[in-house]
Structure 1
C-alpha cells in the first residue's frame, strides 16, 4: 500500500500581510509523480518550499515524509529530500567539477572543502552521472556547462543521496528545444522506474510534463483550481480557468500541448 510523503491540510503561507498560499489541502503518495502548473505569482515555488521543509506554513498542518513541520528537526528531515532549483544551482561554485558538484550532496554541501569521500561515494556519483548522460563531463567545471547540462547536474545532485522525495523547480526553464526534449526523456525514464521516489515538478508549460507523470495540481492566486490524475486535470476547461484564457489542449504519445483557442 502506498504511503503518504506529503500531506497538507488547510495550509496557508502569509508574508508581509500578503497571502501567498490560501488554505491548500493536498496529498502525495510515494508512488505518484506530480506536476504543478500555474501562472507567475501563483505560489508554485512557495508550495515546493513547504514540501521541502524550507519554510513552515503560517496556518494549517504540513506533514512531509511522516513528520509534522514545527514538531521535527528539519535538519534531519531535509537530507531525505532531493531538491533541484535555479537557486540551488547558484550555490554551486562555478569552478567546481561536475563530479564534485554531484558528490558533495552526500555531505549536504555545495562546494568541496576538507570532507573525506569514500570510493563508494565516488562510484555512486559516477553511476548517477551515467544515468543522466553526464559521464563525459565529470571533470568539466560546472560554470562551463550549457544550461541543459547544468540542469541535469542539478537533478543528478538531487538524486545522489537516494531521496525519498524529489522536488524539481522548473527543470526545463530556459532550455532550447533539443536540451528540453533530452531532459524530458530522461525524466520520463527515471519517473517510470519502480525504484524512483515520489516526484513533484513545477513548470509553466504543459509541453514540459514528462510522459509517465501520474498527477497534476493547478494553482492560481495561491489557491488550487484543480488536482488529481493528470488526464482529468490537464483539460482545456481547467487550464482556461487557471490561466484566464480560452485554450485548446491535445495529447499525443503521452505528451500534452496547449494553444489559444
Structure 2
C-alpha cells in the first residue's frame, strides 16, 4: 500500500459514520444465525433505505447501529467509536433514534416530548431545560412543519404528526446519525406524504446528517434517499447507490416474488405479481 493510498484509507475511515466489518449475530437459544458476515459503511450526508422481508435481520441490524446490542463476531464502529470499547450510554446520546413504538406519555404536549430528547428521558426534567433549550425544541417543531402542535397533547396528535414530533425529539441532541425504524407505520396517504416531504427537507437543511430508514414500501422513500441495502436471511443481498440496488431483479431476489419497480420525479413505487418459484 502506497503512502497516498494509506492516507486515503485513513480519511475514509475517519469520515465513516458507521462501519461494520464481518459482523454476525447468533442467538444461542435456540441456535440461530440472525446476521451473517455483514460489511457496510455509511458516510456523512448519505441517506440509506434498509429493506428486507420479515425476519431478514433488519431490526437486529438497526439495534447494532443504535448501540443497543453488540455483535457476536466482527466489529461495529458508530460515530468513530467501536462497540465494546466505549461507554454505550454516552454513544447512544449522540444517535437519533425514532421508533413509532417509543414510550411517550400521552398527556405531554408536543413541545414537552421534544424537550425530553435533550435529557434522554421519558418524562421531562424541567429544571434542566433552560430558555435556549426550550427555544431549540420549538425551532425543531417548526423545522418539521408541526409548530402549531407545540401545546397540543401528544396523545391527540395524528400518526403523521407524532412521527414528526418524534423526529424533532431525536434531533435535540444534534446527532450525526438518525435511525428511523418504520416511521411510516400505519400512516394514511396524506400523513405519509407530509412525512416524506419533511424527510426530504431535513436532508436538504442538514447536508452532513446521515440517516438509515427501515421500511417495507418503496413509496415511503423520499427523493433524498441516496443508498439502499437489501437483507435476505441475515445476509446482505445488495448495497450501494439507490439506482443500482432498487431494481426489479434484486427486489425479486430479496422478497421471493416477481416485483416490478418504477421511479418518477424522484419517487419510487413497486408492485408484486406472482410468487417466484422457490422463493
TM-score by length of structure 2 reads 0.90
Residue by residue over 1:107-129, the C-alpha shift from the partner in whole angstroms, topping out at 9 and shown as x without a partner, is: 11121145331100011000000
Shift of 1:173: 1.3
Segment of structure 1 superposing worse, 115-124 or 226-235: 115-124
Q: Distance in 1 between matches of 2:166 and 2:206?
A: 22
Q: Distance in 2 between matches of 1:9 and 1:238?
A: 23
Q: How does 1:99-248 map to 2 (within 5 A)?
A: 99-113=111-125, 115-248=127-260
Q: Secondary structure at the match of 1:36?
A: strand
Please name the residue that 2:56 is paired with: 42
Size of the aligned set, in residue pairs, is 259
Residue by residue over 1:159-195, the C-alpha shift from the partner in whole angstroms, topping out at 9 and shown as x without a partner, is: 1211011100111111000000110011011112344
Please name the residue that 2:264 is paired with: 252
Q: Distance in 1 between matches of 2:98 and 2:169?
A: 8
Please name the residue that 1:71 is paired with: 85
Q: Distance in 1 between matches of 2:54 and 2:212?
A: 18
Shift of 1:207: 1.0
1:21 aligns with 2:21: no
Shift of 1:260: 2.2
Q: Between Structure 1 and Structure 2, whose CA radius of gyration is higher?
A: 2
Give structure 1 stretches of 5+ with no counterpart.
Answer: none
Shift of 1:22: 1.3
- Contact kept, 8 Å, 2:100 with 2:185, in 1: the verdict is no
Give structure 2 stretches of 5+ with no counterpart.
Answer: 1-10, 274-279
Q: Distance in 2 between matches of 1:29 and 1:124?
A: 26
- Contact kept, 8 Å, 1:217 with 1:228, in 2: the verdict is yes
Residues 194 and 145 (structure 1), Cα distance of their counterparts in 2 relative to 1, 3 Å cut: closer
Q: How large is the RMSD of aligned CA atoms in angstroms? A: 1.3
TM-score by length of structure 1 reads 0.96
